[in-house]
Structure 1
Amino acid sequence: MQAVVGDHVHMYSRSIGMVDRKGEIVEVRGTNGEPPYLVRFDDGHQGLVYPGPDCVVEHHLSEERR
């Protein structure tokens, strides 16, 4: 999995009653766009994310990727 600052992370809930979490990647701490990612979630909290199988990176179309 690779990402750049500005991409979004969608973490799907794994249990009934839990909600999905979405956020923006504000820092990439791995090499070559690899995890971990510092993510600012929609509720304002920030956390270090090591994406698992329940996580999708939604790429932001920047000038670099066009």
Structure 2
Amino acid sequence: MRAHVGDWIVVESQHLGGHRRRGQIVRLEHPDGTPPYVVRWIDDDRETVFFPGPETHLEFEEENAAHRHASP
């Protein structure tokens, strides 16, 4: 997994009925974009160092910006 500052981390629940966690990458620990990442979580506005697991995927800032511009 390689990320950039501004990309979004999404952690899917591993349990039925569990919640999905979402946060924005605010700092990279490695210049090549590999984990760990410093993430600001939107549910509690805290920053943590995060090591993604198999239930995690990225949403890239460019995709989010393109989606916002395409919406009416």
TM range (shorter): 0.7 to 0.9
For the pair 1:53 / 2:18, whether they are aligned, the reply is no
Moved beyond 3 Å, runs of 4+: none
Greater Cα radius of gyration, structure 1 or 2: 2
Distance in structure 1 (CA, Å) of the matches to 2:48 and 2:21: 12
- Cα deviation for residue 41 of structure 1 reads 0.6
Higher relative contact order (CA 8 A, sep 6+): 1
Structure 2: gaps spanning 5 or more residues: 63-72
For the pair 1:25 / 2:31, whether they are aligned, the reply is no
Calculate the aligned-residue CA RMSD, in Å: 1.1
Look up the equivalent residue of 2:41 and give its one-letter code: F
Secondary structure of the 1:16 match is coil
Q: Which structure has greater helix proportion?
A: 2
Q: How many residues align?
A: 61
Distance in structure 1 (CA, Å) of the matches to 2:39 and 2:47: 5
Structure 1: gaps spanning 5 or more residues: 62-66
The TM-score with structure 2 as length reference comes to: 0.77
The TM-score with structure 1 as length reference comes to: 0.84
- Cα deviation for residue 17 of structure 1 reads 3.8
- Cα deviation for residue 8 of structure 1 reads 0.3
Look up the equivalent residue of 1:10 and give its one-letter code: V
